[in-house]
């Protein structure tokens, strides 16, 4: 995860402070006037809050108007309708005529088990696993509706692929060979697993993940059934752009895609307009032992057929009900996680 310089509230000219100035410069949560550049003022009541004192934490000044928790509390979260046709349309799930047999997951999984059986003996390499969807169709609808709620609330369009928009980086710029120190190549078997993961989602076989809203963390993701170690959780998706175009961007979820030797060729994924569940998986506080213990995912960039792809993968078994976390600073050390819950 990368963090670039953000817009901040301009500081007042040096002058003798009045009582009203002192009130304006104090955080309602901690009572301190320290870090005035990170003090955010409510557009309704004009009270101040440090970005890092808010729950959920803000890492940058938000675009447009911002209202403090007291002024915002009356706004209720609007859940996405738990209606199958609406959910299928929202996620563009493939529809199959009754006369056409749907692709068999059993066959796909049988093939993977057969290939993997010899690895138990050789132990040469542990391979990635596809997710195991919930058996209950109604539960899968609830999981999909929870993601649709988060996406619509944040004004984000669902996309399970990297997107290349006019005016941003073209697809030709996504060249894994440009990676500064080289990039791990995803094996043929693991590439098949990644493609299986994509195909499963396209036909409505959804990952067992639930997006929930926490008053301290905001939208966050938890396992809705046991998830095995090395399971592909999701690919980090969004608009691909040059890092140089995003130096002063207000987005708070940019992900590194390509670290090129030439900075002008480096790429980031921007999930603020188009994305998937990856946008709502939170990061650990990697400044405390307790925070580091919460990590149950790893973020890995792979060379997939010559292009860079970023995957979130389980790094241990994850029991049902446990929330998902990974280290935002896996490649850089620029994201301020010291105030994370």
How does pLDDT run across 123-174, given as a tens digit for each residue?
457 899 999 999 999 999 999 999 999 999 989 999 999 999 999 999 999 9
As given in the structure block, the two tokens for residue 1 are 């995860």
The pLDDT assigned to 96 comes to: 56
The pLDDT assigned to 192 comes to: 97
- The answer on pLDDT for 264 being more than 90 is yes
Instruction: Tell me the pLDDT band of 63, cut-offs 50, 70 and 90.
Output: low
Question: Mean pLDDT of all residues in the chain?
Answer: 81
As given in the structure block, the two tokens for residue 24 are 């304006």
CA distance 6 to 57: 15
The pLDDT assigned to 7 comes to: 30
Of the chain, the percentage scoring pLDDT greater than 90 comes to 53
Helix (H, G, I), strand (E, B) or coil at 83: coil
CA distance 127 to 107: 18
The pLDDT assigned to 73 comes to: 61
The pLDDT assigned to 252 comes to: 62
Does the reported pTM lie above 0.85? no
The pLDDT assigned to 69 comes to: 74
The pLDDT assigned to 34 comes to: 84
Tens-place pLDDT, residues 182-225 = 999 999 999 999 999 999 999 999 999 999 998 778 899 999 99
Higher pLDDT pick, 192 / 36: 192
The pLDDT assigned to 312 comes to: 96
- The answer on pLDDT for 84 being more than 90 is yes
As given in the structure block, the two tokens for residue 284 are 């650990």
Sequential DSSP letters for 209-265: EEEEEETTTEEEEEESS-B-TTBEEEE--SEEEEGGGGTT---S--EEEE-BSSGGG
Mean pLDDT in residue range 302-312: 97
Would you say 94 and 203 are in contact if contact means Cβ atoms under 8 Å apart?
yes
Would you say 310 and 232 are in contact if contact means Cβ atoms under 8 Å apart?
no
Higher pLDDT pick, 284 / 113: 284
Tens-place pLDDT, residues 98-111 = 443 444 444 344 44
The pLDDT assigned to 126 comes to: 83
The CA–CA distances, whole Å, from 126 to 112, 117, 119, 189 equal 13, 11, 8, 11
Q: What share of the chain is helix, strand, coil (3-state, %, to 5)?
A: 25, 20, 55
The pLDDT assigned to 80 comes to: 93
């Amino acid at each position: 995860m990368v963090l670039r310089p953000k817009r901040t509230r301009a500081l007042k000219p040096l002058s003798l402070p009045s009582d009203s100035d002192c009130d304006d410069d104090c955080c309602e949560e901690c009572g301190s006037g320290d870090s005035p550049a990170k003090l955010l003022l409510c557009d309704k009541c004009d009270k101040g809050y440090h970005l890092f004192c808010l729950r959920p934490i803000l890492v940058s000044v938000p675009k447009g108007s911002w209202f403090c928790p007291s002024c915002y509390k009356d706004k209720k979260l609007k859940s996405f309708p738990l209606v199958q046709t609406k959910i299928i349309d929202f996620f563009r799930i493939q529809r199959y005529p009754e006369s056409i047999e749907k692709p068999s997951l059993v066959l796909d999984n049988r093939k993977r088990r057969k290939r993997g059986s010899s690895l138990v003996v050789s132990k040469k390499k542990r391979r990635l696993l596809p997710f195991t969807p919930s058996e209950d169709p109604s539960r899968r609808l609830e999981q999909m509706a929870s993601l649709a709620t988060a996406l619509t609330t944040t004004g984000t369009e669902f996309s399970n692929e990297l997107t290349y928009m006019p005016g941003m980086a073209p697809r030709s710029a996504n060249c894994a060979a440009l990676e500064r120190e080289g990039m791990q190549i995803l094996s043929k078997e693991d590439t098949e697993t990644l493609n299986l993961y994509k195909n499963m989602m396209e036909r409505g076989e959804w990952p067992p993940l639930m997006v929930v809203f926490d008053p301290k963390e905001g939208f966050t993701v938890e396992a809705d059934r046991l998830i095995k170690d090395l399971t592909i959780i999701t690919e980090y998706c969004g608009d691909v752009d040059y890092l140089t175009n995003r130096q002063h961007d207000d987005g708070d979820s940019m992900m590194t895609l390509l670290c090129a030797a030439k900075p002008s060729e480096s790429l980031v994924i921007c999930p603020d307009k188009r994305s998937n569940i990856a946008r709502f998986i939170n990061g650990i506080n990697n400044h405390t032992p307790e925070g580091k213990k919460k990590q149950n995912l790893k973020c890995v960039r792979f060379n997939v057929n010559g292009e860079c792809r970023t995957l979130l993968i389980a790094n241990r078994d994850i029991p049902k009900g446990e929330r998902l976390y990974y280290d935002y600073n896996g490649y850089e050390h620029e994201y301020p996680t010291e105030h994370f819950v």
